[in-house]
Structure 1
Amino acid sequence: MTDIHITDISPIPVTEDSRPFASAAQCCDFDRNGYIESEYYMSGTANVYETHADGTIGVRTPNAPYTNRFIVRAPRDTRSFSGNVVVEIINPSAFIDLERMWVLGHTEMIRRGDIYVGITSKPNTIAKLLEFDHDRYSSMNWANPTPNTPFGFTDEQLAAMNGRIMPDIDISYEPGLFWDMLTDLALLLRSNDAKNPLHDYHPKHIALAGWSQSAAYLIRYVNDFTYRRATDHDVFDGFIAAGPPRFLPTPVNQYEVLSTLTDLGISKIRTVRNPCIIMQTESENSSLGAHDVPRPDGDEPEFMCRHYDITGASHDTRYTLTDYYQDNPGLKRVNALFGYDGRFNKEPNNYPSQFLVAAAIRNLFRWIETGVAPEPSEPIHTNANGTNVRDAFGNSIGGLRTCLLDYPTGTYYSYSDINPKSEGMYGKGIDGLYGHEEPFPASMLIHLYGTLKHYEELCKRHTFRQVTHGFICQEDADALVRFAVSKAEERGLR
């Protein structure tokens, strides 16, 4: 196997007084579920890469030292391990470590006995980690190996690119160290090295996952890194990218944040030899550039891919951004809890995309293990300018659907009107990531469905069909129906 440039793996002790940031052990009841949560420092060296004019990459600065952290959630009993590992590129967009793929997929991972590994992906989150627990995270280091080399752009040029890059440029650190960190961690998890924290579990399959900016990272990684190193095994066996903002090509170092924002084909996956599932909500489909990126499904040896549009869902939902984190002491400590607060004047979008992501995780590993690809799904229908085509109820047509769309009790939107004094992603008055719902009046629900019992029967039949297609896990069918029926009841159907 190719050399792994990790020199040290050190456990970060978990005590009553010091726990990992955004710990899941309590909110996901690890004691009852038979899981344990561990955290580690990883130290080593990584190259910083650069993008050439033809889109290929090369080494810009070799062997820069670093210390990063990663989290492990695993079955307490090694005999309960499924053999599958999900490595998440933890999302840094809010300048804190948000484990969105864990939030969406942890129910499936826990009930199957999967191991979750989340790795910090950008140094812009270190400040909040230190604010949370300075002693716990004081060893983290992503120092820029060329701090005396100035950026080739001005603050004014960065400001002019508002909305096209993430505002986390800092000469003191270098996000470009991440690519080798990720590769080396995956190779270590496969190895018999005594430093491997999964040494006693013997993983069979390792998949890479990412949400939003981290999904954009994943796409760049697939294109330029996962097959570059000559190993006795591919770095990852499969990939799941959810909510990728296609307008955001990911540079391989922060010095090229402007120079790579040209069409080098880095916003779409060019080649993927191992199974890959890409999921996007209506936010990405309608406003974050996805309609401009070709999205073919593939079953060829050099392109094994499925694309799914999650109709009804917005990039952020009440569950993923508010409900899951509501009582998390780590986020409370750094004042980073998210709420659908007074900025918004409509009911928040709470489309249950977690059920569809759970099925996608299951389908991905089945594809990896058996070679049988999951069923395709039609995309959301769009018109010539990329706007979603909507039905008579105002919901988008096509895409990956649940009973909530085919038997609707309201209209789902991928954006929210907000207080005009509040600043949203697309300027004052609009939040393009956190959507809203507009409920139907009770009289309309009675006209459409008659009774709550009849509505429940419609939802059960629809969900049964989606289970047979593999779009919903059998274990989630009842929960999805209860979710839909509860929403109908809240809106006045009896």
Structure 2
Amino acid sequence: MGARHLRRLCPVAVALLLSLLLAIGFGGSAPAAWTAAGDVEPFVTPRAAVSAEVAWTSSSTPFSADGVFAEWPMPAGYTEKEYFISGTASIYEYSDTGVRVVSPCPASVTGDARPSCSGLPYTTRILIAMPKQPRDFSGNVWVNPLNPSAGYDMRVDWNRTQRYHVRKGNAYVMWTAASWAVDALKQHDPQRYSALHWPSDPRRVGTPYDGIAYDVAAQLGRLLKENTPDSPLHRYDVERVFEAGFSYDGGLTFTQANIFHNLLRMPGGGGIYDGYLPQGSWAQDMVPLNPWPTGYLPEGDPRLRMGSRDAPVIKVNTETELALPIPISWRRPDSDAPHDRYRGWEVPGASHDDQQTLSDPSNMALFGTVSFPSECAHKDPPHVSPTDFRYGYVANAAADALVNWVTTGSSPPHASHIEQTDLSNPSKQTIMRDRFGNARGGVRTPQLTVPRSAFHVIDDGPAFCWSIGWSTPLSNSVLTSLYTSSADYKRQFAAAAKQTVELGFWLEADAREAIRELATLP
């Protein structure tokens, strides 16, 4: 994509995307500006301090909360509350053998040069969606660093998985996880968010020295897991705490699991998070330590792949991440070993962005359209854009499988990889396809096993078109060769949905929903 098109993006997204491509896609590996000295050893992370609930008033409400501004209403039986959390955190970088605290710490971070980037004060906000009644709570807390890629907080994972969490009675804790998202909050409501503070290099977005997120995530996790009287969930019987994220926040979740789970520990030495669900992320693994771009690992470093840890990980990727011009470095074998429980699911047909993410009301209010931008090549019929592929159903199944892995020891299903001819130089063209044009291999769901459309990823056009998928209907001649009638198609789809549930890649409630929606079609 050309510079003229990139300028259409918000400045934050431009900086992030350019840094990513320069660092790992088009410009070679970033220089290794670290040494092996002073590696961080495991230590007990402090607990974040939490404020009283930040009041909702007629003139001041939380940004991006359900039912506020343009956002969808909070689901029945749920409530949402906002708090501030505070503490001190460090900014890290890779060494040859582990990670270390950035030393010395540039004056651009705090105003004065410091011996190291440790003990940096921060204050950020959390939003908690929870059952109104503690008796309806499942015992499971999910923590999600909100996605800042558009320059402000987006509820990407919540929008896709909300129905699952509400069905289960989970608490879902979202938090602002980047300096530019903190700045956006302060611009949105200067009075409400005046106390927020995120140490970083303020000279431009996208430089290093913005990476306190890993300490903050750990301190928040300990606050929720210990559930002392100062915790926002102290009236609820918290049993387990999980972390999940998609795209940018999926990269944060991957690195939290791969690097910091073994370093930032609970009193007594146990892990803070009980499991991790990184999704829609790539490279090593998209978000480096401090980030963009000098925190990246060189190609071939074993830390590009998930290592051993005492909490399970299910990593889920859409087809988009297999089709980007970035080496596919995260693939590794599945494992059921006690200290290396790992699954990798790849979802053919699914796109990085789809109708569930792009119809977010905040996006619609900002861009005036269901997708951004509207100039993508395949926006007009017969194409369906953005794609209506049901990635969220697979994400729900992965979340449920992760909980069951922790609570019952039941192992999640294995899935093959999307078939790819070149892992070092991947593209849309290197993905192998079936006779309908859909990617082969990976998690097979009814939209592919009982096809009615061909699903495509990485649209042509400016800015975020790279993340948007679309579909084209199969020809009438192909459809009539597959199905004797509309009723026959619906019967085959229902049978495939049942099989997908039995295999463990959809949940029964989602399959019923898909079948109900299909029944309304002619």
TM-score, with normalisation over the residues of structure 1? 0.85
TM-fit CA distance, 1:383:
1.6
Deviations 1:394-424 (A, max 9, x none): 1111111211101111110112123xxxx33
Instruction: Determine the structure 1 residue equivalent to 2:27.
Output: none
Instruction: Determine the structure 2 residue equivalent to 1:383.
Output: 421
Q: Note if 1:306 corresponds to 2:343.
A: yes
Deviations 1:349-369 (A, max 9, x none): 221111111111111111110
Deviations 1:132-189 (A, max 9, x none): 3222222211134x88xx9xxxxxxxxxxxxxxxx83368xx4222221111111011
Structure 2 counterpart of 1:241, which letter?
P
- Over the matched positions of the two proteins, sequence identity in percent amounts to 27
Q: Note if 1:90 corresponds to 2:146.
A: yes
Deviations 1:67-87 (A, max 9, x none): 111110000000000000110
Contact 1:246 1:284 in 2 (8 A): no
TM-fit CA distance, 1:238:
0.3
Higher strand share: 1
TM-fit CA distance, 1:463:
0.7
User: Relative to 1, partners in 2 of residues 1:441 and 1:67: Cα closer, same or farther, differing over 3 Å?
Assistant: same
Instruction: Determine the structure 2 residue equivalent to 1:228.
Output: 263
User: Relative to 1, partners in 2 of residues 1:265 and 1:168: Cα closer, same or farther, differing over 3 Å?
Assistant: farther
Structure 1 counterpart of 2:309, which letter?
V
Gaps of 5+ in 2: 1-42, 103-115, 379-383
User: Relative to 1, partners in 2 of residues 1:192 and 1:316: Cα closer, same or farther, differing over 3 Å?
Assistant: closer
Deviations 1:78-123 (A, max 9, x none): 0000000110121111111112111111101001100000111111
Structure 1 counterpart of 2:166, which letter?
I
Q: Note if 1:283 corresponds to 2:320.
A: yes
Instruction: Determine the structure 1 residue equivalent to 2:218.
Output: 183
Q: Note if 1:117 corresponds to 2:173.
A: yes
Match of 1:404 among 447, 467, 471: 447
Instruction: Determine the structure 2 residue equivalent to 1:473.
Output: 507
Instruction: Determine the structure 1 residue equivalent to 2:109.
Output: none
Question: 2:365 and 2:488 mapped to 1: Cα distance?
Answer: 46
- The range that moved more, 444-453 or 79-88, is 444-453
Contact 1:315 1:435 in 2 (8 A): yes
Match of 1:417 among 460, 473, 479: 460
Deviations 1:197-233 (A, max 9, x none): 1111121011111111211112221222112134233
Instruction: Determine the structure 1 residue equivalent to 2:21.
Output: none
TM-fit CA distance, 1:260:
3.2
Question: 1:228 and 1:247 mapped to 2: Cα distance?
Answer: 18
Within 5 Å, which residues of 2 pair with 1:425-464?
Answer: 431-464=465-498
Q: Work out which structure has the larger RCO, using CA pairs closer than 8 Å and 6 or more positions apart in sequence.
A: 2
Within 5 Å, which residues of 2 pair with 1:13-412?
Answer: 13-25=55-67, 29-30=73-74, 33-58=76-101, 60-144=116-200, 168-169=205-206, 174-231=209-266, 232=268, 233-246=270-283, 249-254=286-291, 257-258=293-294, 260-263=296-299, 264-287=301-324, 289=326, 291-322=328-359, 325-326=360-361, 328=362, 339=371, 342-346=374-378, 347-348=384-385, 349-384=387-422, 386=426, 387-412=430-455
Contact 2:432 2:440 in 1 (8 A): yes
Contact 1:219 1:268 in 2 (8 A): no
What SS class does the counterpart of residue 252 from structure 1 fall into?
A: coil
Cα RMSD, aligned residues only: 2.5
Structure 2 counterpart of 1:95, which letter?
G
TM-score, with normalisation over the residues of structure 2? 0.80
Instruction: Determine the structure 2 residue equivalent to 1:153.
Output: none
Deviations 1:325-352 (A, max 9, x none): 13x5xx5665686525540232212211
Question: 2:501 and 2:50 mapped to 1: Cα distance?
Answer: 45
Contact 1:216 1:267 in 2 (8 A): no
